[in-house]
Amino acid sequence: MSLVVLTAPQPSAISRKVEKFTWGLPRRCVLGGISRALALYHRVEVHGLEALPRGRPLIFVAKHPRTWLYTETLLLGAHACQASGLVPFRTLQTAEGHRGESLAGWLRRQVGGIPPSQESALAALRRGESLLVFPGGRRELYGPRDAIQWRGRRAYARLAALTQTPVVPLAILGADRQHLLSVPLGRDRLLFLPLFPLPVKLTYHFGAPMAPPASADAAAVASFSEGVAHATRQLLALARARRGR
């Protein structure tokens, strides 16, 4: 769903058209209703949300789910964040997905998708919006369950340093168990079965906000990203322990 590497800033017709994300009446009525139904279907639990600061942008980082569906993102935005008064977040995704006129492309845009560039990400943060980033991207889409693979993926940490935005580790337990199997359909393409996610329990664990480094130099960004990855692994381990797995 999200891109793992942000491109360098450059003029973009797509980026210029991106407007501030709001939970207006259509989204509240349609997506809000869907999210409430999905919350019951997945027996959603949320932990740690009360400790997050309101009224300011945050950068949420999480393991990419082993699926191309968007139920966990919709639930995070509508059921968890929007209902609690947090600043709306945007997700970084491929430019093709943002342009797409398919149902999936429309849904991506409705859950806050923006083009995968540093320009778009910086613009969102400076508009007062939060970001949701899956640094592992395809590595984790095709990788083992509940295992983050963020080596060398530091764009989110650089963004945090440039804008002085806190980073919040996030564990979504159950997201990797929504499908029984995946079938390869060619290079970098998978079909997840069953097509509709199983009614697994989804549990969102928010970690404590981590202050960004004062400098955006390579050493500071690398050290900070390693700390965030470690905190996210610990959060996943804690979530599994609480679930009894």
Tens of pLDDT along 169-212?
999 999 999 998 888 887 767 788 998 899 999 999 999 999 99
The token pair at 178 is: 């929504």
Residue 219: enclosing H or E segment and its boundaries?
Answer: helix 218-243
Which of 93, 77, 90 is closest to 39 using CA atoms? 77
Residue 204: enclosing H or E segment and its boundaries?
Answer: strand 203-206
pLDDT at 221: 96
pLDDT at 73: 81
First vs last C-alpha separation in the chain: 27
> What is the 3-class SS of 91-147, one letter each residue?
EECCHHHHHCCCHHHHHHHHCCEECCEHHHHHHHHHCCCEEEECCCCHHHHCCCCCC
pLDDT (tens digit, 9 = 90+) per residue, 25-46? 666 777 778 888 889 999 999 9
The token pair at 22 is: 């709001």
- Please give the Cα distance from 42 to 65 (Å, whole number): 15
Entry pTM: 0.84
Which of 108, 151, 149 is closest to 132 using CA atoms? 108
- Please give the Cα distance from 125 to 160 (Å, whole number): 9
Q: How far is CA 244 from CA 41, 178, 208, 240, in A?
A: 21, 18, 22, 6
pLDDT band at 117 (very low <50, low <70, confident <90, very high): confident
Mean pLDDT, the chain, integer = 81
Which of 212, 171, 178 is closest to 80 using CA atoms? 171
Contact 76/82 with Cβ under 8 angstroms? no
Which of the two residues, 223 and 118, has the higher pLDDT score? 223
- Please give the Cα distance from 27 to 182 (Å, whole number): 31
Percent of the chain at pLDDT exceeding 90: 41
Q: Enumerate domains of the chain plus CATH numbers.
A: 25-243 (3.40.1130)
> What mean pLDDT comes out for the span 85-103?
63
pLDDT (tens digit, 9 = 90+) per residue, 118-132? 888 898 899 898 999
Residue 14: enclosing H or E segment and its boundaries?
Answer: helix 13-17
Tell me: pLDDT of 139 over 50.
yes
3-state SS assignment for residue 203: strand
